[in-house]
Amino acid sequence: MHSFGYRANALLTFAITILALMCAMASLSDNFNTPTPSAQVQVLNINWFQKQPNGNDEVSMTLNISADLQSLFTWNTKQVFVFLAAEYETPKHSLNQISLWDGIIPSKEHAKFWIHTSNKYRFIDQGSNLRSKEYNLTMHWHVMPKTGKMSADKIVMSGYRLPAEYR
């Protein structure tokens, strides 16, 4: 009844139960945090804007991104993945999302940042619809926990417009 195996089993089961419970509580505690992040993006320059030989429009731009994501961090946050996407509609596609820049924020100290960059990924349309196209720039973030549920949210910034002519 009270053999070594029996006691070892009871101890192991108890330890795993407590560990699972602590993981669940850590994940649930994230719900008490109500983040208030902010972001601003400026398009400083359209570097070039042309139609590829295969008929798709491509644009290269210089961006100025500043954001304060410190409020997203809790004790259960391993990192925050943040990216800026251009989002627009075309007659053929009801939604186009193109990631222009992304970054990994490892800690709260790095969560308030300012960056001056050209687009990291190519901004290519499926077709030739980008001339004087109005688009949104959306700052998305993805909170990766030490354990438990992942969460994501975004800030939509609207009212950006591409030039009417290739350059």
Partner 1 sequence: MGWIGETMDSIKSLQIRQVLTQAVSLGMIVTSALIIWKALMCITGSESPVVVVLSGSMEPGFKRGDILFLHMSKDPIRAGEIVVFNVDGREIPIVHRVIKVHEREDTGEVDVLTKGDNNYGDDRLLYAHGQLWLQRHHIMGRAVGFLPYVGWVTIIMTEKPIIKYILIGALGLLVITSKD
34 binds partner 1 (CB under 8 A): no
Pairwise CA distance, residues 82 & 139, whole Å: 7
Binding-residue total with partner 1 (CB under 8 A): 32
Closest CA to 130 of 98, 163, 97, 158: 163
The two tokens of residue 68 are 């304060």
Q: Which of residues 45-84 bind partner 1 (CB under 8 A)?
A: 78-79, 81, 83
Q: CB burial class (10 A; 0-12, 13-18, 19+) of residue 62?
A: middle
Phi-psi label, residue 55: left if phi above 0, alpha if psi -120 to 50, beta otherwise: left
> Kind and range of the H or E element at 41?
strand 38-51
Q: Least distance (Å) from partner 1 to the CB of residue 42?
A: 21
DSSP type of residue 23:
H
User: Which DSSP state fits 53?
Assistant: T
- For partner 1, give the closer residue by CB, 112 or 122: 122
> Cα separation of 95 and 81, whole Å?
22
Choose the stretch contacting partner 1; rule: CB under 8 A; options: 30-38, 40-48, 59-67, 149-157.
149-157
| 110 lies in the binding site for partner 1 (CB under 8 A) | no
CB of 87 to partner 1, least distance (A): 8
Does 144 contact partner 1 by CB under 8 A? yes
160 binds partner 1 (CB under 8 A): no
- According to CB under 8 A, which one of 32, 91, 109, 165 is a site residue for partner 1? 91
Q: Note the residues at the interface with partner 1 (CB under 8 A).
A: 5, 23, 27, 78-79, 81, 83, 85, 91-99, 102, 104, 106, 121, 126, 140, 142, 144-150, 152
